[in-house]
Amino acid sequence: EIVLAQSPGTLSLSPGERATLSCRASQSVRSNYLAWYQQRLGQAPRLLIYGASIRATGIPDRFSGSGSGTDFTLTISRLEPEDFAVYFCQHYVSAPYTFGQGTKLEIK
């Protein structure tokens, strides 16, 4: 089973700043089958990034994903007010399709 550990648990930043979120896997994620999701309060999750670095349809280019193997990063270049939310990573290599515990991005 691949266990995903996200850090930090909470990130406090101001609009316009850069956010860097980490997702570390307990073993190598084959084919970079790693996705990032955003969940705003009271809303369903939304796919941001898949294949570790491919932006999903309609996702602004201030969101970018990078990494391979066991270390992955989601970067938001300049935070907009609507970006303050919880972010989850998930691998989709094979069952169990585990999620990280999430990073809460809050306004400083």
Choosing from 24, 55, 73, 92, the residue that interacts with another protein (CB under 8 A) is 92
For residue 43, give every residue at least 6 positions away whose Cβ sits within 8 Å of its Cβ, in sequence order, or none. Answer: none
- Work out whether 90 is an interface residue with another protein (CB under 8 A): yes
Binding-site string for another protein from residue 23 to residue 62, where x marks contact by CB under 8 A and - marks none: ----------x-x-x-x---xxxxx--xx----x------
Separation between Cα atoms, residue 102 and residue 108, nearest integer Å: 18
**Angstrom distance (rounded) from CA 94 to CA 76:** 28
Per the CB < 8 A criterion, the answer to whether 83 and 97 are in contact is no
Residues that bind another protein (CB under 8 A): 33, 35, 37, 39, 43-47, 50-51, 56, 86, 88, 90, 92, 94-102
